[in-house]
Amino acid sequence: LNVVSPDDVTITCVTPPNPVAGPVDVKVTNFNGEGTFTDGFTYLPNPVPSSIDPTEGTVSGGTHVDIYGTDFSGGGAVTVLFGGVPATNVTVHDDTHLSCDTPRGNAIGPTTVTVQHSYGEGTVPGGFEYLPPRFWWEETLGTFLSSATGWSSYQLVTHPFPFPFYGSTYST
């Protein structure tokens, strides 16, 4: 522990992590002996995310998700991370439910979702999967008769992503 004692009656330190929320004894030892303050410090619970809905969205971000679990409120401001990138529009509805919009993903595939507040953090490894973007491409197919008459017939074709893209040609 990094302990600082600026005077004879004050001790400042950073608490070590504790796996269980609740009260703990504080023991102080110096050259004069030791003393114990029973239940002198209370560890507060980390947020515990357990489920995410939906569990997938495009890598371009912007998917609105609901996250369920425990201990979301009471720890101050809440941050949600998807693969280490902060989500936007985080709203804590109550102690067991929050919502947010996914950020742009780092890569296609599963990513860890982390909920943080001042008491700690909780994670869902692989809790959200980034999918390829969903683009639509339309092309006009037709027969070109002459520069004077233009297209004689055409057909509009829609292709979902991914598709093989070989280039495009435009005619006026």
3-state secondary structure 2-40: CEEEEECCEEEECCCCCCCCEEEEEEEEECCEEEEEEEE
Name the pLDDT band for 59 (thresholds 50, 70, 90).
Answer: very high
Name the pLDDT band for 6 (thresholds 50, 70, 90).
Answer: confident
Bridge partners, 35 (sequence order):
28
Mean pLDDT of 6-31: 84
Name the pLDDT band for 129 (thresholds 50, 70, 90).
Answer: very high
Q: Which residue has the higher pLDDT, 170 or 33?
A: 33
CA distance 49 to 72: 8
**130 alpha carbon, distance to own chain's centre:** 12
In this model, does residue 163 exceed pLDDT 50? no
pLDDT of residue 2: 74
The one-letter amino acid at 135: F
CA distance 122 to 29: 33
Q: Which residue has the higher pLDDT, 150 or 1?
A: 1
User: Peptide bond preceding 49: is omega within 30 degrees of 0, i.e. cis?
Assistant: no
Name the pLDDT band for 168 (thresholds 50, 70, 90).
Answer: very low
Structural tokens at position 101: 């919009």
CA distance 80 to 92: 11
**What's the whole-model pTM score?**
0.65
Length of the chain: 172
Name the pLDDT band for 141 (thresholds 50, 70, 90).
Answer: low
